[in-house]
Amino acid sequence: GAKLEEEIIRVQQLLEAAQIEFQLEGDTHLKHAPPLVENVMSMSLKEACTNVVKHSQATVCRIHVQQSKEKTMVAVEDNGTGIAKEKAGTHGHGLQGMRERLEFVNGILEVSSPAGGGTRLYIEVPNIIQ
Ligand code: ATP
Ligand code: MG
């Protein structure tokens, strides 16, 4: 499966090629996540950053990785146009596929619009596979 730290290097290149400033917070080397969880996280991060490049018109994208023994959390935030509410659940597209993969590992996806503008995706997955 794809390692999160390797995917982060790829999305950094993708964002910088699109002239979007890349900011990273947290340790990208996952210590507690099983391979399936890490793989789903990596795929979700890739889709989130592809969306930032394709749709957001942002100038900055910030990735925040947090981990505990119990769960792994990744937030992807941009300062772009923001995501229309009705689009956050569109079927047959990237976000819907992300939700389905996350459900499979008992994870959650929250899409929100921060007060300052832009879009924030928050992903949380337990490190224990049921
Ligand atoms: P696909 O992922 O299948 O290539 P898509 O990117 O259009 O297609 P989704 O990833 O599901 O589909 O996203 C749904 C819609 O939400 C997008 O078409 C876009 O309008 C909006 N969107 C997604 N991410 C962002 C973002 N970071 N900023 C602004 N709009 C966004
Ligand atoms: Mg997409």
Minimal-distance CA residue to ligand 1 atom 14: 87
Contact (Cβ atoms closer than 8 angstroms) between residue 75 and residue 120: yes
Q: Which residue has the higher pLDDT, 92 or 109?
A: 109
Is this prediction's ipTM beyond 0.95? Answer: yes
pTM as predicted: 0.95
Cβ of residue 44 lying under 6 Å from some atom of ligand 1: no
Minimal-distance CA residue to ligand 1 atom 28: 56
Cβ of residue 119 lying under 6 Å from some atom of ligand 1: yes
125-129: average pLDDT: 90
4-10: average pLDDT: 97
Two tokens, residue 74: 């990744």
pLDDT of 85: 75
106-121: average pLDDT: 95
From the CA of 70, how far away is ligand 2's center (Å)? 29
pLDDT band at 129 (very low <50, low <70, confident <90, very high): confident
Cβ of residue 49 lying under 6 Å from some atom of ligand 1: no
From the CA of 95, how far away is ligand 1's center (Å)? 7
pLDDT of 92: 60
Q: For residue range 50-103, list pLDDT tens digits in order.
A: 999 999 999 999 999 999 999 999 999 999 999 987 776 665 689 999 999 999
Minimal-distance CA residue to ligand 1 atom 16: 87
pLDDT of 130: 67
